Amino acid sequence: MLSGPYYPRSFTILVIVAMGVLIVPLASGLINAVHVLQGVVETQRQFTHTSLAVTRDVRQIVESVSQLQRAAGQYHLLQDAEFGPALRQSFDELRTQLSQLDTQLTDARSRATLATLQARTQTLYRQVRPGEFLDSDQFHALDPTFDDLHDVARTLLVQADAAVQRELQALEGTVQATRRRLIVLALALIPLTLLLAAVFSWMINRPIKQLKTSIQQLGQADLRPLPAISGPQDIVELGREIDWLRQRLQALEEQKLRFLRHVSHELKTPLASLREGVALLGDELAGSLNPRQRSIVGIMDSGSRDLQKRIEDLIRYSSMVRDATPSPATPQALGDALDTVLARQRLALDTRHIEVETQFDAPVLHAERGQLETVLDNLLSNAVKFSPEGGRILVKSAPVDDTIEVWVCDQGGGIPEAERSRIFEPFFQGARQPATAVRGSGLGLSIVRESLLAVGGNIEVVDCPPWSTCFRVSWPAYRGPLNLTRTE
């Protein structure tokens, strides 16, 4: 029961490691998702700030061109020098706006249009700047130049809007790519996490299932060596404790069987003497008996026979438990074996007027004759004991897959559900005992089970209305040639 190299020393550490490993991919995926989302948010914020600034500045440029034209008209058409500073201020504002916009634009077409607008603004300002007044005709001759400047400014506005739209589409593409990336990441993390969870679940459940199997084996009174337990050191230590318990139970079981064997043999010799004495009294070798004395001798004979049967049951049970090697099996006629058993049970059957019905759809069993008669004898004795006066007992057989099923049913009081799992235990006797029956040893059904387990069979209690109690015996089927002669 050694722990594997992949197990830590403690079961608690294994659980903590499992939780930690499961958290790692989830935490890394979450951190990655937060980082990616932060990048997207920052890009979107920068785009919003830049696009709003560019749109605002381009619209201000369009307005500044109009202000430059108004200021030039006031200065030259009114021939008033006081409007000179306003004209210079309008040009300075327009030039400043153009310079600021030059640092914000990234689109090549927009930058080319901006350069054209800057050059034409410089050229136009040299023509209308304060100093020498232009007359009305000279000033209106510049209208096409102003119109051209307006057109270039509006073209710049259109190009800037188009550039913003393209950047917005690019941003949407980035968002979609980020969304797909996060989905792929989630799809990759889910199976990875499930795989890790399955691995650690297997590592955690494996030693627990091994312990459960060992405990179930002990619960079924199977004292063979337990399967090896691999896992954390504390679980392995617990497995060693369970194995120590198995060895202790095995030692106690051997002591019990040895005690039963010794007691049975020690009782057998004085019982033989007692029975011989009772037989001599019954034969009146010591003198004639009156009716009362003969009745007492009969009671002594019946009691000695009952005691002999119990001692034989003890010897038979201890022998079966000690040596489970099956006896050589041969084809046996079920009806023939049943007739032999019924002959031994005839007195009890006739006294209580009990009828035995048979239905043999599988008339042949592959078994050792004495073993078969032992099974039938104990089951019929149990059925006779619990059957009511004038009742019926059913014995039937049928082939089922690779087995022959033999049913023994009676009309007694039935077996409570709580007792069905214990009736095959040695010395167990149910609460519903017939008032008129002599209390048995509680070994009959245990002997039946041990006999069947030795040949790979099984016995269980089943429901089969209208019968109140039914024992179903599963016996390995015989597949050889049949050459039987039924004895009458």
Q: Which CATH architecture has domain 325-476?
A: 2-Layer Sandwich (3.30)
**DSSP tag of 141:** T
Q: For 37-77, what is each residue's pLDDT tens digit?
A: 787 778 777 777 777 777 887 888 888 888 888 888 888 88
Joined together, the tokens standing for residue 6 give: 């992949």
More confidently predicted of 433 and 88: 88
Taking the CB of residue 354, how many other CB atoms lie within 10 A of it? Answer: 21
Count of CA atoms in the C-beta half-sphere (13 A) of 149? 23
E strand or H helix at 339: helix 334-351
CA distance 333 to 277: 39
**pLDDT, mean of residues 136-144:** 83
The residue assigned the tokens 């005839």 is 346
- pLDDT confidence tier of residue 141, bands split at 50, 70 and 90: confident
pLDDT score recorded for residue 393: 92
Question: To the nearest whole number, what is the mean pLDDT of the chain?
Answer: 79
How many Å apart are CA 69 and CA 375, to the nearest integer?
A: 124
Torsional sign, CA 36, 39, 45, 47: negative
At 392 the pLDDT is 92
> Is pLDDT at 485 greater than 60 in this prediction?
no
Whether the per-residue pLDDT at 353 is higher than 50: the answer is yes
What is the share, in percent, of the chain residues with pLDDT greater than 70?
87
Q: Tally the C-alpha atoms within 13 A of residue 441's C-alpha that lie toward its C-beta.
A: 21
- Per residue in 400-434, pLDDT tens? 888 889 999 998 888 888 788 788 877 777 666 76
Strands 458-464 and 467-476: antiparallel
Helices of type H across 220-290: 233-282
Q: Where are the domains of the chain?
A: 11-201, 233-320, 325-476
Helix axes 233-282, 291-322, angle to 10 degrees: 150
pLDDT number for residue 421: 77
- When the candidates are 1.10.287, 3.30.70, 1.10.3470, 2.60.40, the CATH number that belongs to 233-320 is 1.10.287
- Higher pLDDT: 322 or 454? It is 454
Q: Specify whether domain 11-201 bears CATH 3.30.930.
A: no
pLDDT of residue 394: 92
Predicted TM-score (pTM) of this structure: 0.45
**CB 439, CB 455: distance < 8 Å:** no
